[in-house]
Structure 1
Amino acid sequence: MTSQQNFRTHTFQTPFGKILALKENGVIKAKSIRYATSERYQRPAPVEYSSLEITFPDKTPVCPQKISPLLERLIGKTEVEKFQVDESTQYLTITRPEVIDENENLPVVVWIHGGSYEVGCGDLPTSDPSVWVKEQNIIVVAVSYRLGLFGFLGGDEKRPPNLGLFDIIEALKWIKNNIESFGGNSENITLFGQSSGGDAIAHLIISEGVENLFQRVIIQSAPLGFRLKRGKMSHEFFQKTEFLKDEEDPLKMTESYTEFLPSLMKYGLKTSMPFCTQYDYPPLCREEESFQKWKENAEKYDVLIGLNHDETAFYVKTAEEGLYTYLHEKILNRIVRKTTESIYEKPANIFAQNYAEGGGNIYQFTIHSNIKNNYIGASHCVDLPLIFENEIAWKDSGLLKDVPWKHVQENGKKLRSLWAEFARTGKISEDSERPEILEIRKV
C-alpha cells in the first residue's frame, strides 16, 4: 500500500488559522508551517493569521546549502529531490500523538537541529521524533531557520549577524501562541539541540527577547570551545564574502564562499566551524559579559548538558580508514581525546559549574560506547539515532557501522524516557532506569 492510499488528515483550529495535518503511524504531523518571512539580510517578520486552510508543501523547504560529503558518510545520503531550496527558511513541523485526552496539556520539546550553522534542516528522516512522541506522550516541534551566509555571518547594519537566532526566537513566539491548539502546554517548553543547535540554545539563554518563551534546555554536544575569540575570523570572512551579497542565485552564494575557507585556516581548529553566533550584536551581549549573563539567568531555566565520550572520532579516524597500524590508532585515540576535551568537554564542565554557582538546576551527562570492536566509539551525532529511532533512515550511516540496531533500540528507549522526564519536570529521579552507556549527575 502506498502512503497516498493511507492518507488520513486532521485539521487543527488555531489562533493562526486552520492547519491541515497528516495522520501516520500513530502520530499527527502538521508539516512545514511557515511561522515568519524574511528578505535577504533582514530580521524575520511573523506571518499573520490566515482565513484560508494552511496546507503543507510537497517538498521540505531547506536553506540554500552545500551538501557535506562528510555528513553524508556520517549520517546518510541526502535525497535532494525531496527538498525545496528556500532562502527564507522559517518553517516548523509539529508531531504529536494521534490520540490524546481532551484538554490534555502535553510537554513540548522544540528541536533545534545541528550542522555547524551551515547545513541541515529541522525536518529530516534522521530526526523523525515519531517513536519518541508516541512512547512518551509528548509533542515535538522541529524548527528550520536560516543558515550560513543567510543566517550566521554579519558585521554591519546592512548584513547583520545572528539572523538565524532571531528566526528561532520568532518560532518560539509562534509556538507559545499556538501550541495549546495542538494539545501542548505553553508553560512547559523545553528547547532541545545538538551540536550547533545546542550552541544556539545555550546562547538563547542569554538572548534579549526570550522572556517566558521556554522553561528548560537540553544541550547535546555543543562545541562551546569554539565560541570565544572569533571576532577577527568572522570579520575577515565577512569582508571576503561581501561581493556575494547581491548575488541573485542563493545556491551560487553557497558554492562561492567555500573557496575562502582555506585562507581562514590560520585561526586554528575553529575554522572547521566558520559560521557561529556572534557576540557584540543583538540579541547577544558582549563576549566578555557572556559568562556572567549565564550565571545571572541560571535560576530561570533548568539545564541538561552533555556530550559523547569520543566526539571527534568520526572526523579523525575515518579520514583515511584502513591505512592505520595499531600504533597509529593509539595516536589517533590521543588526538580524539584531546580535541573532544578542548572543543566539548572542558567548556561544558566550565559552563555547568558556573551555572550551578548561579543557583541553576543543571545536570551533566556523558554517553560512552560499550561495544567491543567499535572503532569510532561514541562519536559526534551517535546520540541522534538513540533519540530519533528510525531504522530505515539510519541504515546506511557510517556512524553505526559496527553497532547492532538492537543496541540502539534498547539504549535509546531508556534515554528517551529520561529526556522526557526532564522535559516534564526539570528533574531526573535517582530511581529512573538509565541506559548502560550513560553517565549522568546533578551538578
Structure 2
Amino acid sequence: MTSNHKGTHFFDTRFGRITALKENGIIKARSIRYALSERFQKPVPVDSFSEFAFPDKVPVCPQKLSPLVEKMIAPTPVDNFEPDESTQYLSIYRSENTIENKKLPVVVWIHGGSHEIGCGDLPTADPTEWVREQEIIVVTVSYRLGLFGFLGGNERRPPNLGLFDIIEALRWINNYIADFGGDTENITLFGQSSGGDAIAHLMISEDVDGLFQRVIIQSAPLGLRHKRQNMSAEFLKKTETLKDEADIFKMMDNYKKYVPSVMKYGLKAAMPFGTQYGFPPLCNEEEAIERWKENAKKYDVLIGLNNNETAFYLKTSEALNKYFGKGWGLKIMDKTVETTTEFIYGNPAKQFAQNLADSGGNVYLFRIHSQLKENQIGAPHCIDLPLIFGNEEAWKRSALLKDIPWKNIHENGQKLRALWAEFAQTGNIADESERPEILRLQKL
C-alpha cells in the first residue's frame, strides 16, 4: 500500500493497482467493477486489473426516476451518472488514519429502491461521515435492478439476477478487502427497504456460507414477500416484447405500462419487482421460514423499522391530503399509516426476529420514532438514511426533513451510527452504550 501526492491514494492489491481519492481524511475507491454480465445472464466475476482508475461518471442500472423520491429525498444528479446494464460495481470507503496492519470491520451497504431504482453511490447515502467517526470500512454495492435484475421466470429470463450480483460482490469482498485493511472474518450486510429484503433472502440463499457474519435489516417490506408467483408471471409475460429492445431508454419508458395492478394483486403490487422463490439461489416459499430457522445461529441480526413507514407515501400525497389532511380525515389517515406500516414492515419484522431468536439466534429488534410534535409526518420510510449517513449538504432540499432541524438529525444520528458500528464490530450492543432518544431497542 503506497501513497502519492495529496488527493490520490494507490492500493496495490491482488486484484491490481486501484486508484482512490483522498479527501478530508477519507480514502474513497469508487466504482470498482467486480463482475460483468450480458442481458439476462448470470454475472461473471472480474478476476483482475493491471491498473484500475474510477470512471468519470457513476455507473447505474437503467431506471425511471421516481417523482416521489425526487421530492421527498433529493433530486438525482443525473449528469453525474452513466446508465450501464452490467451494473456490477462497488466502492470502498475507509479512514486515511488507521493503525498499520489493523483489520477493520467491514459494513456492506445494499441500497433500497423497491428493487427498481437507486445505486450504491448516491450522495444521500455517502458513508463518509460514518467512516470518519467509527473505525469501520464501508463498501457500497451496485447491482442490477428492475427488468434486468428482479424479474424473470424462465431460462431466457432467469429471476433473482440482482441477488446473484450481490453474491458475486460478496465473493469479491472476501477475496480482496483485506488488501484495503478489512477483516474478512467480520463482514456485516446492511440494507434498507428492498436492500433489507435482499439481505434477508441472502441469509437463505445457496452458496453464501462464510461470505458474511452479521446483518442489519432496516425497513424491509417483508409483508410483501408472500404469494408473488402469479403476479410475477403476468408481469414477465407482458414485458416479453421488451426483452430484446436495444434502446434501454425505450425499455424504461414502456415497462410501466405493464406494471401489475394493486386492485388485482393487493399491496404487493406496489413493489412489482422482487426476489422470487422456487428459483436459484432461493428455496420454495413454503420452505423459507424453516430455512431461516435452520440458519439462525449463523448470523447476528439487527432488524427494525421506522414507526410511521407508510407516511412517506400516504401523508405526502396532495390528493389524499385534500380529503384526509385534517379533522376526522387526519385520524383516518393516521390509522391507515399505522395499519399499513404494521402489515408491510412491523409485524413481519417482529415475527422474523422472534423466529430466529426462538431458534437460538442472536437477535436485536429496534424501532425509530419521531420526538418532534411539529413534525406531522412522524418517522416515515427513509428517515433512517440521514441518521446513518449524515451529509447535510445532500439532504438540504429534502421534503422529508423540512420540519426537522438538522441539529436533531445529527445528534441522534451520531449516536445511532456508533451503535450500529458497535454491532458490526462485535455482534452485540452493550446495555451501557448510549441510545439516541428516538430509538427503541431490545434484545430478544
**TM-score clears 0.5:** yes
SS for the counterpart of 2:355 is helix
C-alpha distance in 2, partners of 1:180/1:308? 34
**What is the match of residue 28 of structure 1?**
27
Q: Is 1:232 the equivalent of 2:230? A: yes
C-alpha distance in 2, partners of 1:175/1:243? 37
Distance 1:265 1:247, change over 3 A: farther
**What is the match of residue 353 of structure 1?**
354
**What is the match of residue 364 of structure 2?**
363
**What is the match of residue 177 of structure 1?**
175
Tell me by how many angstroms 1:44 deviates.
Answer: 0.1
SS for the counterpart of 1:28 is strand
258-267 or 336-345, which deviates more = 258-267
Q: Give the residue type in structure 2 aligned to 1:375.
A: Q
**What is the match of residue 186 of structure 1?**
184
C-alpha distance in 1, partners of 2:130/2:317? 33
SS for the counterpart of 1:377 is coil
**What is the match of residue 10 of structure 2?**
11
Tell me by how many angstroms 1:155 deviates.
Answer: 0.7
* Aligned CA-pair RMSD: 1.0
**What is the match of residue 260 of structure 1?**
258
Whether contact under 8 Å (1:374, 1:403) holds in the other structure is yes
**What is the match of residue 405 of structure 1?**
406
**What is the match of residue 82 of structure 2?**
84
Tell me by how many angstroms 1:255 deviates.
Answer: 1.3
Distance 1:291 1:331, change over 3 A: same
C-alpha distance in 1, partners of 2:28/2:377? 35
Counterpart pick for 1:110 among 108, 128, 134: 108
Whether contact under 8 Å (2:262, 2:268) holds in the other structure is no
Unpaired segments ≥5 residues, structure 2? none
C-alpha distance in 2, partners of 1:42/1:277? 16
Q: Is 1:49 the equivalent of 2:48? A: yes
Tell me by how many angstroms 1:99 deviates.
Answer: 1.2
C-alpha distance in 2, partners of 1:74/1:148? 21
Counterpart pick for 1:215 among 213, 216, 220: 213
SS for the counterpart of 1:371 is coil
SS for the counterpart of 1:188 is strand
C-alpha distance in 1, partners of 2:262/2:46? 38
Whether contact under 8 Å (1:91, 1:144) holds in the other structure is yes
Counterpart pick for 2:72 among 71, 74, 85: 74
**What is the match of residue 3 of structure 1?**
none
Tell me by how many angstroms 1:46 deviates.
Answer: 0.3
Measured against aligned partners, the alpha-carbon deviations of 1:143-168 in whole angstroms (never above 9, x if no partner) come to 00000000000010110000000000
243-252 or 34-43, which deviates more = 243-252
Whether contact under 8 Å (1:233, 1:264) holds in the other structure is no
SS for the counterpart of 1:134 is helix
Q: How does 1:278-317 map to 2 (within 5 A)?
A: 278-317=276-315
Whether contact under 8 Å (1:208, 1:284) holds in the other structure is yes
Tell me by how many angstroms 1:139 deviates.
Answer: 0.3
C-alpha distance in 1, partners of 2:270/2:24? 39
Tell me by how many angstroms 1:50 deviates.
Answer: 2.0
**What is the match of residue 380 of structure 2?**
379
Q: Give the residue type in structure 1 aligned to 2:86.
A: S
Tell me by how many angstroms 1:96 deviates.
Answer: 0.2
Whether contact under 8 Å (1:126, 1:385) holds in the other structure is yes
**What is the match of residue 150 of structure 2?**
152
SS for the counterpart of 2:159 is coil
Whether contact under 8 Å (1:363, 1:441) holds in the other structure is yes
Distance 1:35 1:208, change over 3 A: same
C-alpha distance in 1, partners of 2:136/2:269? 38
Q: Give the residue type in structure 1 aligned to 2:419.
A: L
**What is the match of residue 60 of structure 2?**
62
SS for the counterpart of 2:259 is helix
Whether contact under 8 Å (2:204, 2:291) holds in the other structure is yes
**What is the match of residue 244 of structure 1?**
242
C-alpha distance in 2, partners of 1:283/1:265? 30
State the identity %.
67
C-alpha distance in 1, partners of 2:271/2:6? 41
C-alpha distance in 1, partners of 2:46/2:265? 40
Structure 2-normalised TM-score? 0.97
Structure 1-normalised TM-score? 0.97
**What is the match of residue 421 of structure 1?**
422
SS for the counterpart of 1:334 is helix
**What is the match of residue 97 of structure 1?**
95
C-alpha distance in 1, partners of 2:338/2:151? 30
Tell me by how many angstroms 1:326 deviates.
Answer: 2.2
Whether contact under 8 Å (2:235, 2:260) holds in the other structure is no
**What is the match of residue 332 of structure 1?**
333
Counterpart pick for 2:117 among 116, 119, 128: 119
C-alpha distance in 2, partners of 1:49/1:71? 36
Tell me by how many angstroms 1:100 deviates.
Answer: 0.7
Q: Give the residue type in structure 2 aligned to 1:408.
A: I
Distance 1:258 1:81, change over 3 A: same
